[in-house]
């Protein structure tokens, strides 16, 4: 049955649904015409009962059965496969891949089954539908006038007091809606001077200097770091190693003699005369660009590199940024060794730690 | 009393009648069943995004049953031995539990992550299709704007989502995000402090991101997607030019049953591919990153792909700090430009583009027919420019990995990116423009002279000419109608179609290999003689 460009026998006249000669397709086509759709081409792809039809049906059935098998396999694996994590190589490492493969095949089976059914077994058709984008000028005018008349009825023009008072009354209501959200969320950024202090600020009213400690909380002696070596240090206070003091971590570097000399001279140039102790210098580990830990230290060039955006800081020149997007040097932590032979911070960082912001002095 | 006979066959009819009596659905339902959709492979790209979104909702709901959005410190005691005894946030511990202690949790997590990546990728490719074919023109500007917003809302959904596990990698991302917010002039510190409730990281950001990720952003996405689809439905899909296709009609298939079947099948295929990827390809192995600690980072920390271009722009930005010497002095950090201003400019440009183009061309008509990219060289050039700009940024987002793998100096990569970002886009514009013109000319040449046959003929005077097969019998040029011009003899049916069938020949010979969307070219029974393209 090929219907190509059927004659518009009755034009747009509705067909007689009681006509016994009318096939179901005729009704469909007549219905489509009522929606301004013309089915201009309708062509079965397979002859009913043909070999091709049987073959395609078998293909579709095969896809659906594959889905059944694969989904069953998924369930069996889900239930019986050893899935609990074990160290080393084991069957549990295959659990997720097997689930993925069985689920994937099951879903692809449905997908390809439906696609084959739709694309190969169903008749091909070309239909043409009108877009109807023409504007109805009359309706535009009527709707416009109706809306204008609504404004007339409200009489805002004649009674301006109403409009003004409504606005004046509603504006605070809008603010009321926003107030709890803004008021609840807002938080003063400079509470306790938090943006300019870290865990290294001396405790007990500036009497007690804070020790530099390792990740496990042990204090550090100068002999612990060999020349050219470095270690991440934290304030030796409660929770000093945790994210509560995310701005505090510093890199304690033991410079070689020549480098240390250069670094000391650079220190003197900017008035940081006694920030180093011997050949040791400590710089904030928090990048002044976006706050990542600048943690890749290259011994040979004395550069500290931040792996996030590749800012590079020259340690022998007050950790000045020499490449990349950072624009400010890493703050230096002034250090000495206390009576017991451990490193302490003589004061907090004297510059602001971390990413830059508007009111940073 | 005689029981009335119960007729099974009458049940559907009676039920349908009952429903229609109450809701009067017959007419609108007929309209829906009959609605005509044009078909072309490139119209399926947006559907991939839609289907990925559905999968995101399904897998996401599963994950919420087990995830604990809290930054309370706990000591991990789950199955994953290497991290046992480590202090970490409850969020990270529950993410590890989803991975190792909930049966099938890992595949759900990986499906969620892969479908998120696919969602964003499909949005981008769909957007390119819409741009290069001019589908954004009047009357579809509103839908273009909604689509552009969908990318950025999807971006937020992705960022809030991958921050939730609170692992080493996502914590670094969050740290950078706080740095970006801090860089905004005047309000930066207030904004950051309000969002994190104090200094970074604070104790509440994960629960705030959680509610944004599972309620606010998906709600917004649902609303935007609903509006997007509603507009496509109302305004009807665009179509390629071709025989019988005009600006005032839609040529295609009725929605039911064939078109809908194909859509359903395609959904299942997308779903299946995501399941395969989730099972076979590891994504975001959070257990390797460890809990977030402010002082730990590893090299090659890259965000998800759709964030990478902003990472790249941040890396390429020179250290230009603006210092305002008033009072104690104020700064606009260099971080502000590539991460706040650039996205803002990009949103503005994409949203405004349809109007800019219409204004420049003084074209205020409605367009329902698509344009081939070659026919609009200026737009295609601009598109190529945007794509190049984007690619340079995205590659720069991985410049440390490229430098490492190819043994290139890292600083050279950065400089290459900076220079490339300025030079390559205009170059791409020029090259694309010329390519478009060349393709246009070739189309016109074939329409005027015919298809190259590959037959060389020697003329009596000794010259050699290639024989061309004209596309029509009359004298004069064929008019270009904005659609594919056949350029090979077998597109004209000159070669017999190959016999199909893998194991044995299939009874019905295949049709001539012309894509169904291109205008059918009738192979003439009486062929005109093959002549040289020249006319004397």
Place of tokens 């190259």: B452
Query: In this predicted structure, what is the pLDDT of residue A5?
Result: 42
> With contact defined as beta carbons under 8 Å apart, do B500 and B486 qualify?
no
Burial B236-263 (b: 16+ CB within 10 A, else e): bbbbbbbeebeeebbbbbbbeebbbbbb
Q: Quick check: is B106 in a domain? A: yes
Place of tokens 């298939």: B253
Give B310: exposed, middle or buried? Use CB within 10 Å, 0-12, 13-18, 19+.
buried
Please report which confidence band the pLDDT of residue B43 belongs to, taking 50, 70 and 90 as the band edges: very high
Residue of B nearest to A242 (CA): B293
Name the token pair of A257: 């003699």
For residue A332, list its beta bridge partners: A283
Q: How far apart are the C-alpha atoms of A199 and A217, rounded to whole Å?
A: 14
Query: In this predicted structure, what is the pLDDT of residue A207?
Result: 83
CATH number for the domain that contains residue B333: 1.20.810.10
Name the token pair of A313: 């800081």
pLDDT at B18 over 80: yes
What would the mean pLDDT of B399-424 be, rounded to a whole number?
95
CB within 8 A of A99, min separation 6: which ones?
A74, A77, A78, B104, B107, B279
Question: Pick from B250, B261, B267: which is nearest to A131 by CB?
Answer: B250
pLDDT in tens, B234-266: 999 999 998 889 999 999 999 988 999 999 999
CB within 8 A of A25, min separation 6: which ones?
A1, A42
Q: How far apart are the C-alpha atoms of A57 and A192, rounded to whole Å?
A: 76
Contacts with A, B 99-128, CB within 8 Å: 100-101, 103-104, 106-107, 110
pLDDT at B389 over 70: yes
pLDDT at B350 over 80: yes
The three-point CA angle A110-A111-A115 to 5° equals 115
Distance from CA of A92 to the nearest CA of B (A): 10
Query: In this predicted structure, what is the pLDDT of residue B530?
Result: 46
Q: How far apart are the C-alpha atoms of B174 and A59, rounded to whole Å?
A: 51
Query: In this predicted structure, what is the pLDDT of residue B533?
Result: 44
> What does residue B329 show for φ and ψ, rounded to 5 degrees?
95, 140
For chain B, give the longest Cα–Cα distance. 106
- Of A187, A158, A229, nearest to B197 by C-alpha is A187
pLDDT in tens, A243-280: 999 999 999 999 999 999 999 999 999 999 999 999 99
Question: Same structural domain for residues B201 and B71?
Answer: yes
For residue B239, list its beta bridge partners: B369
Distances (CA, A) of B55 to A70, B52, B112: 20, 5, 7
| Residues making up chain B, counted from first to last | 536
Question: Same structural domain for residues B126 and B272?
Answer: yes
pLDDT in tens, A87-123: 888 889 999 999 999 999 999 999 999 999 999 999 9
Check CB contact under 8 Å for A108 and B272.
yes
Contacts with B, A 171-210, CB within 8 Å: 185-191, 194-195
Q: Where are the beta strands (DSSP E) in A71-188?
A: 124-130
Query: In this predicted structure, what is the pLDDT of residue B514?
Result: 45
Query: In this predicted structure, what is the pLDDT of residue B527?
Result: 43
Query: In this predicted structure, what is the pLDDT of residue B516?
Result: 45
Distance from CA of B5 to the nearest CA of A (A): 26
Which residue segment(s) compose the domain that B207 sits in? 42-239+254-297+304-310+318-350
Query: In this predicted structure, what is the pLDDT of residue B498?
Result: 64
Q: Quick check: is B287 in a domain? A: yes
> What does residue A18 show for φ and ψ, rounded to 5 degrees?
-90, -5
CA atoms within 13 A on the CB side of A329: 19
* Number of structural domains in chain B: 2
Query: In this predicted structure, what is the pLDDT of residue B1?
Result: 56
Where are chain A's structural domains? 3-43, 203-345
pLDDT at B515 over 70: no
Contacts with B, A 117-136, CB within 8 Å: 117-119, 122-123, 125-131, 133
Question: Same structural domain for residues B207 and B335?
Answer: yes
Q: Quick check: is B439 in a domain? A: no
Check CB contact under 8 Å for A290 and B184.
no
Q: Quick check: is B213 in a domain? A: yes
Report the CATH architecture of A203-345.
3-layer Sandwich (2.102)
Q: At what angle do helices A95-116 and B105-132 cross, to 10 degrees?
A: 40
Q: Quick check: is B356 in a domain? A: no
Check CB contact under 8 Å for A115 and B265.
yes
pLDDT at B494 over 80: no
Name the token pair of B224: 């935007």
Task: State how far Cα B476 lies from the chain centre.
Answer: 43
Question: Pick from A107, A127, A359: which is nearest to B254 by CB?
Answer: A127
Distances (CA, A) of A245 to B191, B476, B522, B528: 20, 81, 77, 86
Q: How far apart are the C-alpha atoms of A316 and B388, rounded to whole Å?
A: 39
Beta strand B73-75 with B87-89 is antiparallel
Sheet with A210-213, edge to edge strand ranges: A332-333, A280-284, A250-254, A230-235, A210-213, A343-345, A335-337
Residues of A in contact with B185 (CB under 8 A): 358
Burial B314-337 (b: 16+ CB within 10 A, else e): bbbbebebeeeeeeeebbbbbbbb
Query: In this predicted structure, what is the pLDDT of residue B315?
Result: 95
Question: Same structural domain for residues B324 and B462?
Answer: no
pTM of this prediction?
0.91
B233 and chain A in contact, CB less than 8 A? no
Of all residues in chain B, the percent with pLDDT exceeding 90 is 79
| Residues making up chain A, counted from first to last | 361
Give which of B187, B199, B283, B293 to mutate to test A binding, by max A Cβ within 10 Å: B199
Chains A and B form CB pairs within 8 A to the count of: 300
> With contact defined as beta carbons under 8 Å apart, do A296 and A305 qualify?
yes
Question: Same structural domain for residues B226 and B79?
Answer: yes
B142 and chain A in contact, CB less than 8 A? no
Distance from CA of A128 to the nearest CA of B (A): 4
Burial B127-160 (b: 16+ CB within 10 A, else e): bbbbbbbbbbbeebbebbbbbbbbbebbbebbbb
Check CB contact under 8 Å for B329 and A361.
yes
A45 and chain B in contact, CB less than 8 A? no
Of all residues in chain B, the percent with pLDDT exceeding 70 is 92
Query: In this predicted structure, what is the pLDDT of residue B2?
Result: 63
What would the mean pLDDT of B358-382 be, rounded to a whole number?
95
pLDDT at B406 over 60: yes
pLDDT at B513 over 50: no
The list of chain A residues with pLDDT below 70 reads 1-13
For residue A254, list its beta bridge partners: A280
Preceding peptide of B257 cis, ω within 30°: yes
Question: Pick from A32, A40, A245: which is nearest to B34 by CB?
Answer: A32
Q: What integer best gives the mean pLDDT of chain B?
A: 90
**Residue B20's CB: how many other CB atoms inside 10 A?**
13
């Amino acid at each position: 049955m090929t219907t190509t460009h059927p004659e518009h026998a009755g034009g747009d006249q509705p067909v007689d649904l009681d006509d016994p000669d009318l096939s179901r397709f005729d009704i469909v086509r007549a219905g489509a015409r009522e929606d301004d759709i013309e089915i201009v081409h309708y062509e079965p792809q397979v002859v009913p009962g043909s070999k091709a039809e049987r073959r395609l049906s078998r293909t579709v059935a095969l896809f659906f059965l594959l889905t059944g098998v694969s989904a069953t396999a998924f369930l069996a694996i889900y239930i019986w496969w050893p899935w609990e994590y074990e160290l080393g190589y084991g069957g549990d490492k295959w659990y997720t891949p097997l689930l993925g493969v069985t689920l994937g095949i099951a879903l692809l089976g449905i997908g390809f089954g439906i696609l084959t059914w739709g694309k190969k077994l169903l008749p091909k058709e070309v239909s043409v539908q009108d877009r109807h984008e023409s504007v109805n000028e009359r309706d535009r005018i009527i709707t416009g006038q109706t809306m204008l008349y609504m404004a007339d009825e409200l009489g805002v023009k004649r009674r301006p007091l109403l409009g003004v008072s409504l606005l004046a009354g509603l504006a605070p209501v809008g603010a009321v809606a926003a107030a709890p959200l803004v008021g609840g969320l807002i938080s003063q950024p400079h509470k306790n001077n938090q943006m300019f202090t870290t865990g290294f600020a001396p405790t007990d009213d500036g009497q007690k200097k804070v020790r530099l400690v390792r990740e496990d909380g042990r204090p550090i002696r100068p002999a612990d770091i060999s020349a050219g070596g470095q270690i991440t240090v934290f304030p030796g206070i409660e929770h000093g190693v945790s994210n509560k003091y995310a701005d505090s971590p510093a890199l304690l570097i033991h410079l070689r003699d020549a480098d240390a000399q250069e670094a000391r001279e650079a220190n003197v140039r900017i008035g940081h005369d006694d920030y180093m102790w011997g050949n040791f210098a400590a710089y904030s580990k928090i990048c002044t660009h976006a706050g990542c830990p600048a943690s890749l230290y290259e011994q040979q060039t004395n550069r500290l590199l931040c792996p996030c955006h590749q800012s590079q800081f020259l340690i022998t020149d007050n950790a000045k940024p020499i490449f990349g997007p950072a624009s400010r040097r890493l703050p230096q932590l002034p250090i000495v060794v206390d009576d017991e032979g451990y490193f302490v911070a003589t004061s907090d960082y004297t510059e602001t730690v971390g990413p830059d912001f508007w009111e940073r002095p | 009393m005689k029981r009335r006979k119960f007729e099974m066959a009458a049940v559907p009819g009676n039920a349908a009648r009952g429903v229609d009596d109450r809701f009067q659905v017959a007419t609108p339902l007929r309209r829906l069943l009959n609605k005509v959709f044009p078909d072309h492979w490139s119209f399926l790209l947006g559907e991939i995004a839609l289907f990925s979104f559905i999968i995101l909702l399904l897998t996401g709901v599963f994950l919420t049953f087990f995830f604990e959005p809290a930054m309370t410190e706990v000591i991990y005691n789950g199955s994953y031995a290497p991290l046992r005894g480590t202090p970490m946030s409850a969020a990270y511990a529950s993410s590890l539990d989803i991975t190792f202690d909930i049966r099938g949790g890992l595949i759900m997590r990986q499906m969620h992550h892969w479908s998120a990546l696919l969602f964003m990728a499909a949005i981008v490719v769909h957007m390119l299709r819409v741009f290069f074919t001019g589908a954004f023109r009047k009357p579809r500007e509103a839908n273009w704007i909604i689509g552009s917003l969908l990318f950025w809302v999807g971006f937020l959904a992705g960022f809030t989502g991958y921050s939730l596990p609170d692992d080493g990698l996502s914590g670094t991302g969050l740290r950078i995000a706080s740095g970006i917010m801090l860089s905004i002039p005047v309000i930066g510190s207030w904004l950051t402090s309000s969002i994190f409730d104090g200094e970074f990281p604070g104790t509440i950001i994960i629960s705030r991101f959680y509610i944004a990720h599972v309620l606010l952003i998906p709600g917004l996405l649902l609303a935007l997607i609903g509006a997007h689809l509603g507009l496509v439905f109302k305004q009807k899909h665009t179509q390629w030019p071709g025989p019988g296709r005009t600006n005032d009609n839609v040529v295609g298939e009725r929605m039911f049953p064939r078109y809908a079947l194909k859509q359903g099948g395609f959904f299942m295929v997308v779903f299946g591919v995501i399941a395969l990827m989730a099972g076979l390809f590891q994504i975001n192995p959070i257990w390797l990153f460890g809990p977030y600690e402010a002082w730990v980072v590893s090299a090659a920390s890259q965000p998800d792909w759709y964030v990478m271009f902003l990472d790249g722009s941040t890396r390429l930005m020179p250290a230009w700090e603006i210092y305002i010497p008033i009072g104690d002095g104020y700064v606009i950090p260099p971080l502000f430009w590539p991460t706040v201003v650039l996205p803002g400019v990009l949103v503005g440009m994409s949203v405004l583009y349809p109007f800019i183009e219409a204004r420049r061309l003084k074209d205020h008509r409605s367009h329902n027919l698509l344009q081939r990219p070659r026919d609009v060289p200026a737009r295609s050039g601009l598109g190529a420019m945007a794509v190049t700009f984007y690619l340079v940024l995205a590659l720069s987002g991985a410049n440390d990995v490229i430098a490492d793998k190819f043994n290139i100096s890292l600083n050279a990569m950065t400089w290459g990116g900076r220079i490339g970002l300025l030079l390559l886009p205009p170059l791409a514009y020029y090259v694309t423009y010329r390519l478009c013109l060349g393709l246009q000319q070739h189309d016109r040449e074939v329409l005027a002279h015919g298809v190259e046959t590959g037959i060389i003929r020697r003329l009596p005077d000794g010259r050699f000419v290639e024989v061309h097969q004209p596309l029509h019998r009359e004298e004069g040029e064929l008019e270009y109608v904005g659609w594919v011009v056949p350029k090979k003899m077998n597109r004209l049916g000159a070669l017999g179609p190959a016999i199909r069938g893998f194991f044995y020949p299939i009874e019905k010979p295949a049709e001539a290999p012309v894509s169904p969307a291109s205008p059918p070219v009738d192979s003439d029974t009486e062929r005109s003689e093959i002549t040289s393209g020249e006319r004397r």
